[in-house]
Amino acid sequence: MVKLPSAPLALHLDSAALKANWQWLAGRNGTARCGAAVKANGYGLGAVEVARHLLAAGCRDFFVATWAEAAELLPHLHGAALSVLHGVRPEDMAFALASGARPVLNSPEQIARWREADGGSCDVMVDTGMNRLGLSTRDVRPDLLAGLRIETLMSHLACADEDHPLNSEQLRRFRQAAAGVGAKTLSLANSAGILLGEKFAFGLTRPGLALYGGIPRGDGAGHIRQVVHPRAQVLQRRFIRPGQSVGYGATYVAERRREIAILNVGYADGYLRGFSGTGAALHEGAHLPVLGRVSMDLLAIDVSTAPEVGEGDWLDLEFDLPKAAAQAGLSQYELLTTLGRRYARIWR
């Protein structure tokens, strides 16, 4: 069989940076364990590979959203703990009971379902102000939770990325709810919550974004390292004359002769239209701006100052997450989790 050609676009993923980010976050926890959210395919990087590198760094607590994500990850965890944040639907039960992963029970109905099946260890989510998943604080009663083997009682911060009064209120509500629950471990802090201080750490933290190079609060700058480095191959080099336009909608019109390179990447790959006219490629220190609109599969870059760039060459896409989020008008989370399947994911 003829071997498939290599992909013309790639994510270069920095294992050392990922591990260093986890270790830095773990060091801010006091005595609390530091886990890792690897849902959404490891925030777009590849959950199995992310877990492998974090296991090597010392992580032993992982979190996914669904049982399909759990099924992919479980064979690679070598006994580390895995929690499934969305709990258990009736159709999840058979797999959940056999898996060894813990459901995060979010409602009285899920609690009854797990208890009636004698499901074993579980986690419980209590809502303290997010109004998303979780028991209301009124529902956290001994009669509802009786008979459960609760490993972790957790909640989720809604505004930890800013100095918001809800942070301290959620902390108060969580402490109050936890006082009546016999959970082995308490967990409240996500990436931003870790940066709020040790009082938010409790026994276990659950970073996500910051592991992958995102800066959830300003005090992470200078400590959190970039993990994701997208690269794309040049398909063609061409020139445009003054007055000619580039791309859909003719949103860019050249004021002078320009040399452009067409890259094999577009919004289908998660390099979204918000980068139109704002993003850039990088080549040997040179900043090469995006010209015109980002297409589904293609991108035009100004290479007038880089005469050596030609067909087949590879260019880095500027992707420092805080800066890229400002360029594209998107959150750092969106930039990571929309990275497409067509990238070769290369760990270094």
Catalytic residues: 39, 248
CB-based contact 214:295 (threshold 8 Å): no
Contact between 265 and 298 (Cβ < 8 Å): yes
3-state SS record for the chain: CCCCCCCCEEEEECHHHHHHHHHHHHHCCCCCEECEECHHHHHCCCHHHHHHHHHHHCCCEEEECCHHHHHHHHHHCCCCEEEECCCCCHHHHHHHHHHCCEEEECCHHHHHHHHHCCCCEEEEEECCCCCCCCECHHHCCHHHHCCCEEEEEECCCCCCCCCCHHHHHHHHHHHHHHCCCCCCEEECCCHHHHHCCHHHCCCEECCCHHHHCCCCCHHHCCCCCCCEEEEEEEEEEEEECCCCEECHHHCEECCCCEEEEEECCCHHHCCCHHHCCCCEEEECCEEEEECCCCCCCCEEEECCCCCCCCCCCEEEECCCHHHHHHHHCCCHHHHHHCCCCCCEEEEC
CA distances to 121, 210, 256 from 125, rounded to whole Å, are 14, 22, 59
Cα angle, residue 259 at apex, residues 255 and 265 outer, rounded to 5° = 110
